[in-house]
Structures are given as C-alpha cells and as structure tokens.
Amino acid sequence: MKIRILTLNLMALALIIMLPSCQSEKNELQPWNVLLIFSDDLNDWTSVLKGHPQTLTPNIQRLADQSISFTRGYCSAPLCNASRTSIMTGLTPATNGIYDNKRWFREHEKTAGLVTLPQYFKANGYQTAGAGKLFHSPRGSGEVPRKMSDDISWDEQYIGEIGAQAPEPFPEQRLDLPMTEYFHAFFVWGHSPVPKEETHDLKMVQYCANYLQQDHEKPFFLGCGIFRPHLHWCVPEEFFNKFDLEDIILPEVLETDLEDLPEAAKKLIKPLVHGQLVKQDMWREAVRAYLACINFADYCIGTMLDALEDSPYAENTIVILMGDHGYHLGEKEHWTKFTLWERAVRTSYFIKVPGFDPGRCDAPVSLMDLYPTLVDLCGLPEKEGLDGHSIRPLLEDPDAEWEYPALTWFRENNYSVRDERYRYIHYPDGSTELYDHDADPHEWYNLSGKQGSKEITRRLDAWIK
C-alpha cells in the first residue's frame, strides 16, 4: 500500500514538473485566455505616454494601471499590412518579405503556409475569435469585399464593415489638394452621422462583449480590432466637442528641422499635405480630429474592458492593447505614417498579465515580440523560427536586463535600429541619420557624421546585418 501511495505521489510530482511553468505559478486560474486589442494608427498620444498634452484616454489609463506599459514599443514596419503581418507571423519584414500594403502573405509561396499567432493558439487547444481589423488583407476587387482578415486563423469571426471606412461621414473638411487620389479620398474629417452605438467599431466591440458573456469550454484567444483613429477622422460629434478648437496645442516642431536630413529622408516626407494644412489654417482642426478619434477609440476600449470585467473571465485573461505603428501630425512637415522616425514607429503598447504587478518598462521592445511572449506566458510549445523574443522577463521585472534593440523596416533597405538611447536610420543610398534621445527626444538634430557617431552607428547597424 505504502509503495502504491509513493508511486502515485511520484506520478503527481512528475505531472507537476511536466506542466508548463506558467501553469504551476502565479495564478491558479490557468490556462489563461488572451484578449488582443488593436487600435489602428494609434501613436503615443495617450495619457500614459504623453505624446500630446491634451489627449483624453481615461480607459487606456485604466488598463495601463493594471499592466506593464512599454514606453518604447515599436512596430517592425510603419504601415498597416507590413506591421500586422510581422506581429501575426512573428517575423520581420526582411524575413517574410511583406513590406507594403499590397502584398498579402497568403498569396506568396514562401509565406502562404505561415502559422499566425492566433492560428498557433488554435492548433494548441484554444478557441480563436477575431473581430474587426486585425489583419490587413488586400483591397477587395469587384464584388469581393475587403475582409481585413485571415480566415484560417479564426474559429469564428465578426468582420462587419470595418474595411469599408464607414459609416459614411458628413465631412466638415475635405482638403482641396492638388495631390494623389489617395490623399484626396482619405484626408477627411468630420462628425459621423450615426450615434456611437451604430458605428462599426462599437458594433464590433459589442460582438466581443457578447463573446465574453458566453460559456467557452476551451480557453480562448479573442482579437478585437478597433479601426479608429485611422482616417477618415469621423466619429460622433460628442467626441469632437470635448476639444475646443481654439485651445488645441500643435505638435512641437523645429523650423529648420529638415535642413540636416539626407535627400533619401526628404523623399519620404509629404510637404504638400502639410503646406496645404498650414495655408488653409487647418492644422489645429486636423489635430483635434485625431484627438477626437483617439478619444472615441478609448471609449471603445473602455466598453471592451467593462465587458471583460463583467464576465467570468475577468481574472484569468491576458489583455494586450497596441497600435500598429505611430503617426505624424506635422512633425518634420509630414503627415500619417511611412517614415522611420520615432513619431511613425513608436506606439502605445500595454500588456496585462493576471497576477503580474503593473509598472512601466523603458526597454525597447518590438510589437513582433508579442507572438513568442504569448506562447511563453500561456505555456504553449515553443514556436521555432520566430524573429521576436519573449518579453516575459520584462513583464515579470520591468527593470530586467534587455539586450535587444527594436528594428524597423520601411520598404526594402530603409531600416532603423532603436536602443534605449539612440535611433539610427539607414537609407538605400547609404545615407544615415543618428539621434540621441537623451538630449533630443524630438529627433531634431541629426548626429550622423558628427564626431563620435561612427562607433555608435556601426554598433547599431550590426543588428541588421
């Protein structure tokens, strides 16, 4: 009898040892669920990162108060498709070959069979549900609507009308610009004609809220892709009314900022948009419209957090909130994304893990690190071949040693390396920029070629090579 009990005890011990580490510590409510919230084109204009002094983001603050807030969270590409493909595949654009918004990874031989982050959870016992804009699949053609999704990644989906840019706005302002169709069609802001409950974003959030009210036999991975503050900047009037146009503070700029930029950098800038906005006295209006859309996204996030808190999954769900890249609103006379400066590649990035202490982490991390991090946290088998690194050590101790810089590509051969202090940028013609964030948080003064810069640029460049 004694021998049998001993054998049973040994078996139990062996089982405990065999369980993934996260299942034996921190929290008895495992396996954990995952709630991944994207906010499209959200830069660092949150109350946490203080990218703009007037931003109103009480719900993001509420989540941050329970999370590790990454003050240096960077995309691997400063545009939707390439960034999201990198996040979802755990690979850099240099590895997966997806640098732009046109190529869809499922349509290319080399990447068609990649297993995405949610797909990997699906293959390892999770139920996956995706709502709204999580992927950025190519534009639909003819009668085929744009889906912004990857069917194989999800057990169930709510696509809604997110890709349609709707609800159709009543634009107060539509810039009359002699420029490309793209900007003429997109650079629009104004009040949305429908009440907030009827907006596509909140309908999508409602789907997620309903999902959280259901009983789920398996642990789940729920993706919630909020479309704002992406253009058009059209949200219900109440969100605009929170910001007095006369009082809007413009981003800080240096008049001579472009003078020390290489030609390759200047080519990325859209001075036409900026020039017209200034000439037509619309810079403030545009900033207000972006702030209104962030506040609307924050409202959606709050609705999502309320739903989680009122659900049976409040205590055992990992919550991630991230933008997919940063955003310029006139800095360096540039608008939108598509550059390698801090403005376009830094985004808001928060991860809440049940039982982990909240805090701030200043280590440079990549959004691409999310894949290995979630696999690690949830005790899934290690996924071979990912480019990112699990940031679990930083979630457990935000001051932990972290050796990796954040790498970003824009098209092939434009790339940037960011460590805790410096940003280094390299263009295809060999020209470079270097900024010291300790002295120059706005990246106004290009140190490339200056005394002492060579060693720093060589060290940072080696990460790409």
Q: Which residues are catalytic?
A: 80, 136
Span from 13-21, 295-303, 318-326, 366-374 in contact with Ca ion (CB under 5 A): 318-326
Span from 28-36, 150-158, 190-198, 320-328 in contact with Ca ion (CB under 5 A): 320-328
Residues 139-178: x where in contact with Ca ion by CB under 5 A, - otherwise, as a string? ----------------------------------------
Output 182 or 244, the one with its CB closest to Ca ion. 182
> Strand 68-70 vs strand 359-361: parallel, antiparallel, or unpaired?
parallel
Output 137 or 317, the one with its CB closest to Ca ion. 137
Q: Is there binding between residue 41 and Ca ion (CB under 5 A)?
A: yes
Binders of Ca ion: how many residues, by CB under 5 A? 7
Q: Give the DSSP per-residue string, 326-346.
A: --EESGGG-EES-S-SHHHHE
Q: How many angstroms from the chain centroid is the CA of residue 433?
A: 24
Residues 257-286 that bind Ca ion (CB under 5 A): 257, 260
Helix (H) or strand (E) holding 222: strand 220-226
Tell me the closest approach of the beta carbon of residue 40 to Ca ion, in angstroms.
5
CA distances from 397 to 4, 149, 394 (A): 42, 34, 5
Tell me the closest approach of the beta carbon of residue 343 to Ca ion, in angstroms.
13
Residues 50-89: x where in contact with Ca ion by CB under 5 A, - otherwise, as a string? ------------------------------x---------
Which is nearest to 383 in space by CA: 151, 153, 30, 90? 90
212 DSSP 8-state letter: H
User: Roughly how many angstroms between the first and final C-alpha of the chain, as a whole number?
Assistant: 64
* Rounded to 5°, angle at Cα 158 from 162 and 64: 75
Span from 122-130, 155-163, 192-200, 319-327 in contact with Ca ion (CB under 5 A): 319-327
Q: Is there binding between residue 342 and Ca ion (CB under 5 A)?
A: no
Span from 175-183, 324-332, 382-390, 415-423 in contact with Ca ion (CB under 5 A): 324-332
* Rounded to 5°, angle at Cα 145 from 409 and 34: 60
Residues 436-465 that bind Ca ion (CB under 5 A): 444
Output 33 or 448, the one with its CB closest to Ca ion. 448
Output 444 or 463, the one with its CB closest to Ca ion. 444
**Alpha-carbon Rg for the chain in angstroms:** 23
Output 299 or 338, the one with its CB closest to Ca ion. 338
> Strand 349-352 vs strand 346-347: parallel, antiparallel, or unpaired?
unpaired
Pair 422, 437: CB distance under 8 Å: yes
Tell me the closest approach of the beta carbon of residue 187 to Ca ion, in angstroms.
15
Q: Closest-CB residue for Ca ion?
A: 80
- Can you tell me the distance from the alpha carbon of 435 to that of 444, in angstroms, rounded to the nearest whole number? 8
* Both tokens assigned to 249: 């503070």
Q: Is there binding between residue 433 and Ca ion (CB under 5 A)?
A: no
Tell me the closest approach of the beta carbon of residue 417 to Ca ion, in angstroms.
18
Output 30 or 457, the one with its CB closest to Ca ion. 457
Please state whether 105 falls in left (phi above 0), alpha (psi between -120 and 50) or beta: alpha
**How many other C-beta atoms lie within 10 A of the C-beta of residue 15?**
9
* Both tokens assigned to 75: 């995309």
- Can you tell me the distance from the alpha carbon of 101 to that of 339, in angstroms, rounded to the nearest whole number? 14
Tell me the closest approach of the beta carbon of residue 323 to Ca ion, in angstroms.
7
Output 42 or 377, the one with its CB closest to Ca ion. 42
Pair 322, 350: CB distance under 8 Å: yes
Output 80 or 209, the one with its CB closest to Ca ion. 80
Tell me the closest approach of the beta carbon of residue 186 to Ca ion, in angstroms.
12
- Can you tell me the distance from the alpha carbon of 350 to that of 319, in angstroms, rounded to the nearest whole number? 8
Q: Would you say how long the chain is, in residues?
A: 465
CA distances from 347 to 72, 73, 220, 254 (A): 8, 6, 26, 22
Tell me the closest approach of the beta carbon of residue 130 to Ca ion, in angstroms.
16
* Both tokens assigned to 263: 């030609």
Tell me the closest approach of the beta carbon of residue 230 to Ca ion, in angstroms.
6
Q: Which residues make up the interface to Ca ion (CB under 5 A)? A: 40-41, 80, 257, 260, 324, 444
